[in-house]
Structure 1
Amino acid sequence: MNGIGRAKRILVVDDDHDILDLMTIILTQEGFEVEVLDNGYTIIDYVIGNVPDLIILDLNLGNLDGRDICDDLKSNVDTQHIPIVIFSATYDRLYPNTKKCDADAFLSKPFELQQLKDEINGQLTKSALNQ
């Protein structure tokens, strides 16, 4: 899925361990190196020390809002280049009162496997072209 060369690293951040396990299985089978975090409290420090090629970030992380984490990552010079895909069962990007963030893409849970693959490939391709 990610072409020739080193495996692309994807960080998945979700407080649901079943989702983390499922995403790890799916993405590993597609040839990605997968890292997971089950909370957003340490994500900035973690990402700076372990720069992934893409982040898949849940919108609802217990007491944290994924949009705030996304904004923090996008406003940090060391992490702003990393594509971020937000996914959630409750996010409606068309609803005008929903708090916005600077994510590169949004996926609604549940999503189709092909939709996930297409979004990841699209974001990685776009990121490679921008470097």
Structure 2
Amino acid sequence: MKRILVVDDNSAILDVLEILLSEEGYKVKCVDDASDFLPVVIDFEPQLIILDIQLGRYDGRALCDNLKGLGNTKDIPVLLMSAKVNIRDMGVYTCTAQEFITKPFDIDDVVRRVSSHINR
């Protein structure tokens, strides 16, 4: 069973994605606190991560870049999420994520994007 880690500080988003992705046959782990992000990634060994950009005092883009800089996690696809219409609205920042999902998101679009990255 393919594993997906979802990191967001909004419990409603976590609930929706957990139900949606579980129904698609994925094992889903949801985390609402980015302070233990890397240990969870190492322990859970996800094949894909859905990561909110604005996580309180954490920036999801920086977490993504940190993840991509490590040998054992660099190949995990990351889909960033934000309520901002465009990632450029967040300010100048180079990011290594595979895709960007705008909230509110279209459920079918999220499933399609997840499938395109996790089933490669």
Give the TM-score, by structure 2 length. Answer: 0.92
Task: Name stretches of at least 5 consecutive residues in structure 2 with no aligned partner.
Answer: none
Tell me which residue corresponds to 1:59: 53
Tell me which residue corresponds to 1:10: 4
Structure label with greater radius of gyration: 1
From the superposition, tell whether residues 91 and 68 of structure 1 become closer, same or farther in structure 2 (CA, over 3 Å).
farther
Partner amino acid, structure 1, of 2:10: D
Match of 2:82 among 88, 94, 118: 88
Contact 1:92 1:98 in 2 (8 A): no
Between 46-55 and 86-95, report the one with greater CA deviation: 86-95
Percent sequence identity is: 38
Give CA deviations for 1:35-85 in whole Å, capped at 9, x if unaligned. Answer: 011111111111112200100000000111000100010001111111000
- Give me the CA root mean square deviation: 1.5
Partner amino acid, structure 2, of 1:19: I
Give the TM-score, by structure 1 length. Answer: 0.85
Task: Name stretches of at least 5 consecutive residues in structure 1 with no aligned partner.
Answer: 1-6
Q: Whose helix fraction is larger, Structure 1's or Structure 2's?
A: 2
From the superposition, tell whether residues 64 and 91 of structure 1 become closer, same or farther in structure 2 (CA, over 3 Å).
farther
Q: 1: distance between equivalents of 2:68 and 2:58? A: 16
